[in-house]
A and B are shown apart, each in its own frame.
Chain A
Amino acid sequence: MSIRRFLAALQARNLEFLRDRTALGWNLIMPVLIVMGFAFAFSTGQEELYKVGLYGHSEQDLAVHDFLQTRYVDFIPVDELERMIDKVDRHQIDLLLDLKNSRYWVNSTSPKGYLLEQLLAPFQLKREAVSGSEIRYVDWVIPGVLGMNIMFSALFGVGYVIVRYRKNGVLKRLRATPLSAFEFLSAQITSRLLMIVTVTVLVYAGTNLVVDFRMVGSYWLLFLILVLGALSMISVGLLVAARITSEEAANGLLNLISWPMMLLSGVWFSLEGSHPLVQNLALALPLTHMVDAARVVMIEGAGLADVTDQLFTLLLFTLCFVSIGSKTFRWE
Chain B
Amino acid sequence: MIEAENLCKHYAGVKAVDGVSFAIPRGVCFGLLGPNGAGKTTTVEMLEGIKTPSSGDIRYKGEPLGQRFRNEAGIMFQHTALQEFIRVDEVLKMFQQFYSHTRPIEELVEVCALEEFLTRDTRKLSGGQKQRLLLAIALINDPQVVFLDEPTTGLDPQSRRNLWHQVRSIKAENKTLVLTTHYMEEAFELCDEIIIMDHGVIIAQGNPKELLANHFDNSVITLPLSALPADFRADEASTLHPQDGQMEILSRDADATIHYLAAQHIPLKQLQVRSPTLEDLFLELTGHHLRT
Contacts and interface: CB of A to CB of B under 8 A. Distances in A.
Interface of A: 4-5, 7-9, 11-13, 15-16, 19-20, 165, 168-170, 172-173, 175-179, 331-332
Nearest to B51: A332
B55 interface: no
Contacts of A20: 84-85
18 contacts: A11-B94, A12-B86, A16-B86, A19-B85, A169-B77, A169-B80, A170-B80, A170-B83, A173-B80, A175-B50, A176-B48, A176-B50, A177-B98, A177-B99, A178-B71, A179-B98, A331-B50, A332-B50
Given A19-B85, A169-B79, A7 B97 contact: yes
Interface string B61-99: 000000100110101010111111110001101110111
B97 A178 contact: no
A9 B79 contact: no
Q: How large is the interface on B (under 10, 10 to 19, 20 to 34, 35 or more residues)?
A: 20 to 34
Chain B: interface secondary structure? loop
Interface string B123-167: 000000000000001000100000000000000000000000000
Nearest to A170: B81
Contacts of B80: 168-170, 172-173
Contacts of B75: 176
A15 B85 contact: yes
Given A176-B48, A178-B67, A5 B98 contact: yes
B83 A16 contact: yes
A5 B97 contact: yes
B83 A12 contact: yes
A177 B91 CA distance: 13
Contacts of B93: 8
Nearest to A332: B50
B284 to A, nearest CB: 36
Contacts of A12: 83, 86, 90-91, 94
Contacts of B71: 178
A124 B285 CA distance: 102
Contact of A173 (B67, B73, B77): B77
A178 B77 contact: no
Nearest to B100: A178
A4 B85 CA distance: 21
A14 to B, nearest CB: 10
5 nearest interchain CB pairs?
A8-B97, A19-B85, A168-B81, A169-B80, A177-B98
Given A9-B94, A15-B90, A178-B71, A172 B84 contact: no
A61 B13 CA distance: 75
Contacts of B49: 176
Contacts of A15: 85-86, 90
A95 B93 CA distance: 63
Nearest to A20: B85
Contacts of B91: 12
A5 to B, nearest CB: 5
B84 A16 contact: yes
Most buried by A among B79, B82, B97: B97
Nearest to A9: B94
B94 to A, nearest CB: 5
Contacts of B94: 8-9, 11-12
A177 B99 CA distance: 8
Nearest to B97: A8
A178 B69 CA distance: 9
A215 B96 CA distance: 47
Contacts of B67: 178
Nearest to B98: A177
A177 B50 contact: no
B85 A16 contact: yes
A169 B50 contact: no
Contacts of A4: 97
A169 B81 contact: yes
Contacts of A16: 83-86
A177 B80 CA distance: 14
